Structure 1
Amino acid sequence: MMGKNRKYLALLFCEIVIPLMFFFIAIIMELVGSIILFIMYGIDFKYGIDDIYLACKAAYFGFPIGVVFWYAKCRCYGVKIFGK
């Protein structure tokens, strides 16, 4: 049973991990940018709800990219998505 459904487990993995990865990358990039501006120019370190909202919007792009990544890997490995 588990052997037949591995491709769908891979899809579930892609749909969970890739949006989370986009979310955390957006947060880390904004934090690094704020730290660099604080160190170089003395600008106040500001990180608010708007930055988290922007990271959530970046995470939306992870869903279609996850499907495309899953489809490309299935094609690469010769796995038939629909059918046997």
Structure 2
Amino acid sequence: MAKERDIEKVLGSVIRELRLSRNLSQEKLAELGDFERSYISKVENGERAIQFKTVVRFAEAFGIKVSELAAKFEEKSHS
């Protein structure tokens, strides 16, 4: 089983990659997902554990299904 900190780091990396691939600033992503910009930074740096409802909000902000975000997480965590 993956350590909690590893999960946070991998998920943060996925969030950052999705944000950058869509040419979004942290500020714009924060606006789209109704987050604070500092929260985006902490998530991307693996400093915050997030609840499932927050994962849903990130997926919605990116315009993707939660399953797509989860697949990206799985792919990155097993590479």
State the TM bucket, normalised to the shorter chain: 0.3 to 0.5
Q: Bigger radius of gyration, 1 or 2?
A: 1
Higher relative contact order by CA 8 Å / sep ≥ 6: 1 or 2? 1
